[in-house]
Structures are given as structure tokens and as C-alpha cells.
Amino acid sequence: MNTQTVNFDQLIERGCGIDVHKNLIVATVMGAGLKEETRSYDGFTESLEQLRDWLKESGVTHVAMESTGVYWKPVYNVLEEDFEVILVNARHIKHVPGHKTDKKDSKWIAKLLLCGLLKGSFIPPKPIREMRDLTRYKRKVVDQIASEKNRIQKILEDANIKLSSVVSDMSGAVATKIIKALIDGEENVDELVKFHHGKMHCTKEELAASLRGKLTDHHRFMLQMVKESIAEKERLITKLDEQVEKMLKANELELDAKLLETIPGVGKDGAAYILAEIGNDMSRFPNEQHLASWAGVSPGSNESGGKKKSTRTTHGDKYLKSILTQFAWAATRTKKTYLRSKYESLVGRRGKKRALVAIGHKILVAAYFILKDKTAYKELGAEYLDNRKKDRQIQRYLDKLKELGVEIPKEMVA
């Protein structure tokens, strides 16, 4: 059956479907009182403004387009103020295979739009999108610093220096002082061992043994370059943090950030990350389950022929999913908290990775209600799960006694 000939009830009076490419924008208008027409534009702003003016003249109210890479953004920037723009996942509007052209794609998108069959993607307001750019770039810079720190360890290993084998943190105070001394040309192991202090897990002899190697001028130069690279990236992070603080204040998001900080494992940076990904208006999500599904931290639903297949987590916001896992890991290191006790109850049965995703899901649900109700996180305590388990066990035993014919006092019956 050719889908082009299928008739649906029209819910939108006049709409436009746009097929987006890097240098080509194909738009089709159709609707009540309009003659179906398709026009092509290039990706430059002047041409996109001509597209906007044409849609205004045609009386179009709604526009739908695919979320193609980053190429939809210039189109959205020009059209968002004058139309209801629906950004759609490309896999939700695939056409019937065969005889595919850009014009047919734009017509198909327009037809689906008029029939109300398109589900728009979540696009946060411009201030949130700008903050999202900052936080995502910051995470990239943080990853680059981690990569540079690993490079330091590789250079030292190449020089037969096994410092990473005797110190717990290569970014710690002792390791940093030793590496700086090595770069400055210090070769006397006895002088380097003076940085040892009583709290270290290794002995002075072990530290001295790890520092006897073959450090050359080339190694020192490389270490200096990496150190300068790290310092430059740390300056970038400082500037990014300052800009994020300005945006939180300018957009009245400081209170929301403070409330999100009350969630175990989140912290100040984490609160900014969450706000940058989901914003602070929870009315955009029907409920907390919808938000969790959008983020990709809820089980998938895949059933056919009465058989349940894989329940792997859904595809979602990969940036949010990643940071939620980091928050979950941090939450498992907290003391006497519900999130830690929940992790400990899951990890034995489900494994570390699934347990962390589950805790990330809990954190996101908490963030949803915190932002919705403008209230701080309520800590249930480490005993919450034990108490619930105890109550269920008591009730189960009472039910069993009833089945055996034992009379139970009324005050003991739940």
C-alpha cells in the first residue's frame, strides 16, 4: 500500500514540512485554502529568512522538520519566533522505501504534521540551550584534562619511573611536587623522597625505588608541555564556571540549583548539569516516568507474541545519562543515605552497572519533583529499605498463620 494515498483527519489547518540538509532546505506547504507547493532554499540566513516570509504569507502556523545533525539549528533559530516548530526524530517519520526524493520527504512530513501524527522532540528555551553549550563543553575540557594526566603517567612509565605504583593519586600533593621537581631537573632520589609524609601508604624505601629510572631531557620537555596544557585547560574551566554562574543568576535558576544540590552525589556542578539538560520547567514532561524514558535511564518495552524480549534501557539524552551515572557513583560513597542502601541492595542481584543506572534513575526522579514542587531533597535514611522489608516479612508471616488457622489479635493485623 502506498502511504501517500492514505487519508487521515486533518488536525492542523496549515502546515509546512521541511527536509533539512547541510546546504539544501526543501519545504512543502499544504492545508486549507492552500495549493500544495514545494520550494528549495540554501542554508544561508538570508535564504532562510525568505523561507520564513513565504510561510508567513501562506498563513502557515506549524512547521515540522527532522533533527538532522546540527543542520536543523539555523532553520529553528530563524523560524522559532513566528511558528510552532516541531523537531522530529528522523526514525519516527521514515517513508516507504523506494522512489525517495527530498521533495517527497518534505511532502510526507507536511502530511504527517497536518494529521497530528508527529511527536516533537524536547527543545529547551534559548537560555537553557546556551547553558547546555557551556556545560557540555566544560565536560569535554574535563575529559581532555583526564587524558593529559594519563599521558603524564605514560611518560613516566617510559622513563622507568613507577610513581603510579606507590601513590594513590597521581594528581595528589606528593605526586604533583615530585613531578615538578623532576621537570626542574632534580635527579637526586634522596631529595625527592623528602616529599614523603607519614600518611602515605608506601614506605620511603618503596617511594625511592619507584623513582630510580632513566628520565631524559626529552621526557622532561614532554612533561612540561603536558603540565602547561593542563594549566591552560584549568583556566578554561574557571572561565566556564564563571559564565555558568552568571547565567544561573541572570535566568533566576539559582534557587533551583541550590535545591538540586541537596541530592546526595549531585553537588554544585551537578546541579548546573541537570538544569542545562532538562531545564527547570517540568510541565514539559507529563510525569517522572516520561522524563526518565527521555533521558534513557528506564527499562525498554519490547514484547511480541506474548513474549518479553530485551529490556535494555532506551536511547535517550546521552549526556544526561552519563552524568546521572556519575552522580549515582558519588551517591554510593555517601554514608547513611537511602541511595547508598538501595545500591547495596541491588548490586548483589543486578551487578554494578545496572545498579548504578537504577540509582541514576532515582536521582532523576528526585530532581523532577524537586524542580516541580520547588522543595529540597528529603532524605529517607539508610534504614528505610530495612524497615519496609521488615514490615513486608511481618505481614507475610501473619498471612501464613491465618492460612494455618491461627487466630491473630486484631491489633496485630495490618
Query: What pLDDT is recorded for position 1?
Result: 35
Asked whether the beta carbons of 331 and 357 are under 8 A apart, the reply is: no
Looking at residue 96, what is its pLDDT?
56
Residues in contact with 210: Cβ distance below 8 Å, sequence separation at least 6, in sequence order: 161, 162, 163, 165, 166, 202
Give the model's pLDDT for residue 304: 54
Q: Which residues of the chain register pLDDT less than 70?
A: 1-9, 92, 94-99, 300-312, 410-414
pLDDT attached to residue 413? 59
Mean pLDDT, rounded, of the chain = 88
Q: What is the C-alpha separation between 397 and 82, in angstroms, rounded? A: 65
Q: Name the one residue in this structure whose C-alpha cell is 502530511.
A: 111
